[in-house]
Every structure is written in C-alpha cells, then in structure tokens.
A = this chain, B = another copy of it.
Amino acid sequence: MGKKKRSTYIDNIDTDLAKKTYNEELNIVPQWEEIGVEDSLGRVTYYAIHARVSSPNYNAAAMDGIVVESIRTQGATESNPKILEEGEDFKYVNTGNVVEDPFDAVIMIEDVIDMGDGKIQILNAAHPWQHIRPIGEDIVATEMIVPSKHSIRPIDIGALISGGIERVQVYKKPSVGIIPTGTEIIDSLAELETGKIIDSNSRVFEALILEDGGIPKRYDTVVDDHELIKEAVLKGVRENDILIIGAGSSAGTKDYTVDVIEELGEVIVHGVAMKPGKPTILGIIEGKPVIGIPGYPVSAYIVFETFVRPLILEFIGLKEEEDSFVKATTSKKITSTLKSRELVRVNLGYVDDKLIATPLSSGAGVTMSLVKADGIAVIPQSLEGVEAGNSIDVRLLKPMDRIRDTLVSIGSHDLIMDIIGDMMNLSSGHVGSMGGILAMKRGECHIAPIHLLDMDTGEYNIPYIKRYFPGQKMAII
C-alpha cells in the first residue's frame, strides 16, 4: 500500500447550514403521477381533491321501516291511531333504500303495528324528512375531501370512492439509488473471511427509503477503483432521482467518492460539524443530489436521517416532522468535543419520576448502540461534555409508553440481562458493580447487577449491600 494523496476534511460546516446551502443549490421540483384510489394508501396528494358526486346520491331510508307521506300521518295519536294500507299509503323499506316521491318520511319498523292484510296502524305522526338521509348528507359534490400535501389514510380512500373519485394525482416517489463501495465489502455471509465486512448499510438504506416513501434501487458493490466508481455513479445518477454512495471506510486512500463527484459535478459540502457523521459529502451531478455517506453503521444511519430523509420528503410533498425531545438526567458522564454537535445513543427509563438516560457506546461502528437506543441525546457543539446527574435533551426513538415500562439497570454486565431484555424493555448501563451501587443510592436505577467479592469474608455481594444500604430492605436475586 503506497502513500497516495490523502484527502483531509476541509470543512467542518454546521449541520443546519450545510442542509440549507445544499437545498438552495439543489432546488428540487417534485413531480406527480396518477394512480388508482385503491392503491393510494400512504401516498401524498398533489392537489386538493373535490368530490365529483354526492353521497348518498339519492334520498335514502336511514332506518328499516315504512315510507309514508308525512302529511297523511298527521293527527295520529295513541287514542286516535291511523290505519295505512301497503302500496297505497306506505311501502316497506330497509336502511339504504330509495325514498321516492311522494314519500317524505320513514317510520321505524318498531313503531309499526301490523294489522294483517297489508294494513298497519301508527300511533304517532311522522315529521317531514324524519329518518331519511338526504342527498349529499355524507359528501356534497364539489366539496373538498382531502387537501393537497395530505398523506392518504384508509378512511380517506373510503371518502374518495364515495365522492366518485377513481384516480388521484399524487406526488411521485423518488427513486433512490444506492451504490455500496469498498473492496472489503462483501454481499453475503458465505464470502465472510478475515478483513471482509458484510454489506449491511445499503440494506438499512433500502429499508429507510421504503419507510420514508422513496423507491430504493441497490446496485452491486463497487470495488475501490476510481474509474469503476465513476462509471457506477454516472449510471446511478441517470437512473435515479437521488443517489447515495456508501463508503467502505472514511477518509482513507481508497475513498474516491469526493473526487468522482468533483469530476462529474460539484461538491457542495465535504465535512459537517456532527459526530458521528463528519465525513459526509453533499454533491450535485446533473442537477441531482449525490450524497457520500461514511461507512460506519451509526454514521451511515445518522447521515441518512439528517441529509437524505429530508430530500425524499421534499420529493413526496411532505415536511420533516419536528423531532420530539424530552429532558432527561444522564446516569453517566458524556464527553464531547467543541468541534462538533455530538449525537449520543441513550437508553431511557423512569425511576420514580426521574427520566434517566444511560449513554450507550459512542463508537460509530457500534450498530447495537442504535438497535438498543430509546433516544439520541444531542450535545450541542458549545459543550465539552456533560457530567453524570446533569440534564440533557434527548430525541425520542420509541414511544413514551414503552419508555415508561422500561426497567432501568445500572451496574455490571450479566448474562441474565439478555434474558430480561427479551422479556421487557430494558435500559442497561454498564458502569461496573460499584457504579451500580452508587446509582442505586442516587435512586437512578431499578436494579443493579453486581459481582463484588468481599476480601475479608470471601462472600459475594452481600457484605457490600449491608455496607451501602444499612437498614434498608433490599431484594437480592
């Protein structure tokens, strides 16, 4: 391996500024397409949709019973019932049947006394239009059924069909190409050997693109070869609306992405003040967004969320939802640098009324930190870390209900925690046995796995518990 020109990150641009600059340069123009209303679940309306017909499109019986002319029922009382004749004065109807002229009221079957021979008796007069669903009761032709930029839900499909709509104009889903790169990247487990890494990032991208409303298109992995990458990128740009290039490693000799984008188009941003995710490349080729995503799984995920998701949403006419943040108490010290905004995966759980955040591994390679995370703590660029017990802002990844049901464990690692983790939502912080005892004293965990040998007695754990929690009732498993 020679000493080639090594690219260094020239930029350390604020994330929000990078997004803004990139968006301005891109100027995305969403397209629409027409689809059948029965296939429109989850699609986003391009225009407001107005009813073409009324529903019901006729005056309909709203009850099972008989239709009558209300005027002919006037004067009916218990002491002076009216007798009506089938065919002449009334007709039997079921809910939904047409109420035809000259009939203008429905009497419920429960109020009809059958006299036999097609004759019935009623004890009350009918008001005009009683128990009738008038034309357009549900939907009036020309009424707006759903506005534009509306994500179509099941009930909307029903209303659209009832309103006489068969086809709808919706935002076209963007096609998002994914090119995995890296000589060390392999496609299947069968090829796994030392020095090789199974491609997982592009499968995560596929799923994220589907969730966000795009159409993923994964290409074969391209080895680290400038010309091959260039060829693949050009093809990818022409066949898609957005192109993602997944890097094998970050800024090594083999990272050709930035050069290729520069040759074929323009690099708008290279390097953002975000950790993980720093080596992001935001480029434009032939007017289309081309994004270079670092190879570490956590970086890849966060860069996708930060820069690719908003583009997909823009294509499909939706705005990014505001993230929901909560305040939590960190159970462990978090270190961070002044060079970037730091995103720390945390577990969350309530101990009494205190929401406790336990930082998970901060390594950008540790996928499991994201799998296990209940939220992502955002440490602003202006802070150089946060002490244990301090308050932090956490973006929720799971619903609050789940978090309320979470068991908070702080202490040593124990295999039993895996079993518990299969049974319930678990926030498990590994700070060692003594750390667990101290967290328990601060009231910041429900259980504390410990493995502490008392040298004097040769006994495990119990002497420590007696020492730190004198006189307190403690359950030991």
Contacts and interface: CB of A to CB of B under 8 A. Distances in A.
Contacts of A137: 363, 365-366
B204 A189 contact: no
A326 interface: no
B422 A144 contact: yes
Interface residues of A, number: 92
Nearest to A418: B144
A98 B194 contact: yes
A301 B37 CA distance: 18
A57 interface: yes
Contact of A422 (B64, B148, B157, B252): B148
A409 interface: no
A322 interface: yes
A336 B321 CA distance: 37
Given A154-B204, A200-B162, A211 B41 contact: yes
A203 B157 contact: yes
Nearest to A224: B94
Contacts of A208: 154
Interface string A155-182: 1111101101010000000000000001
A125 interface: no
A365 B138 contact: yes
A159 B137 CA distance: 53
Contacts of A139: 367-368
Given A204-B158, A254-B94, A422-B147, A189 B166 contact: yes
A157 B324 CA distance: 24
A399 B248 CA distance: 39
A145 B200 CA distance: 14
A200 B158 contact: yes
A48 interface: yes
B162 A189 contact: no
Interface of A: 1-3, 6, 37-38, 41, 48, 53, 55-58, 62, 64, 91-98, 109, 114, 133, 137-139, 143-148, 153-159, 161-162, 164, 166, 182, 184, 188-189, 192, 194-195, 197-201, 203-208, 210-211, 248-254, 295, 297, 301, 321-322, 324, 363, 365-368, 370-371, 399, 401, 418, 421-423
8 contacts: A58-B195, A64-B249, A94-B252, A96-B249, A147-B423, A148-B422, A154-B206, A158-B200
